[in-house]
Amino acid sequence: MKRFLLLLLLTSFSVDASSKYLEIGDVEVKQAGSNSLVAKQEALSRAMLSAFRTLVETYTKERSSNVESISKHQVQNCVYDYSIDQEKFSDSVYIGKFSYRFYKRKVASLLQSYGIKIDFDYEEEKVARLAVYLDDFLRYSQEMRNLQVNVEKFSDEKVIFRINKDRINDFRKLRIRYAQLT
């Protein structure tokens, strides 16, 4: 526990209410492997998870064991970018210092889906994902174009697209059967 608190103190973090990102810096990892390249790959993965744990400890209102059930893949989807601030190699050891930026909205959505209360403001996505039958989409293609929808996926039966939430009422006036996905 003392070791974690020391790491937390040494790790820098920042949140800017107007920013789309949460930043966690000074994440240090030392990793051994069969060679330095293998060690570096493992260190990158460990650093990302360490940065995410620090982010959760810093920006959540309550401590939760649900964090442990969040997968590496889910965390990767929240990463905007990272930088390697320092690195040292030897034959089989890699030592690195990293900084990570995470998407605020994606982190908020992920944590809330696990019942974890967040302690930062974020801007909700202003688009909705809708699914309609292909024949309706084609029948109203000109109206869809006017509503400035962005097609995400086409299939033989349906079309999934994004539409600005401000335009949903205009879309409803078309009286098309649809399902709202998000």
CATH of the domain at 133: 3.30.70
Looking at the fold, whether 88 and 35 belong to one and the same domain comes out as yes
Looking at the fold, whether 104 and 25 belong to one and the same domain comes out as yes
Looking at the fold, whether 78 and 148 belong to one and the same domain comes out as no
- How many alpha carbons fall within 13 Å on the CB side of residue 66? 13
DSSP-H helix ranges across the chain:
2-10, 36-59, 72-78, 104-113, 134-139, 141-146, 168-172
| Tokens (6 digits) for 148 | 């400035």
> How far from 145 is each of 54, 142, 175, CA to CA, in Å?
44, 5, 16
Q: Per the structure, how many domains does the chain have?
A: 2
| Tokens (6 digits) for 52 | 């995410």
Looking at the fold, whether 95 and 45 belong to one and the same domain comes out as yes
Looking at the fold, whether 173 and 107 belong to one and the same domain comes out as no
Establish if 119 belongs to a structural domain.
no
Question: CA 97, CA 76: separation in Å to the nearest integer?
Answer: 18
Establish if 139 belongs to a structural domain.
yes
Establish if 68 belongs to a structural domain.
yes
pTM listed for this prediction: 0.61
| Tokens (6 digits) for 152 | 């995400």
Model pLDDT for residues 69-126, shown as the tens digit of each residue? 889 999 999 999 999 999 998 888 999 999 999 999 889 888 888 888 887 777 666 7
- How many alpha carbons fall within 13 Å on the CB side of residue 82? 26
pLDDT band at 57 (very low <50, low <70, confident <90, very high): confident
Looking at the fold, whether 104 and 14 belong to one and the same domain comes out as yes
Establish if 103 belongs to a structural domain.
yes
> Diameter of the chain by CA atoms?
66
Looking at the fold, whether 45 and 105 belong to one and the same domain comes out as yes
Looking at the fold, whether 19 and 105 belong to one and the same domain comes out as yes
pLDDT at 36: 86
What domain range includes position 23?
A: 2-113
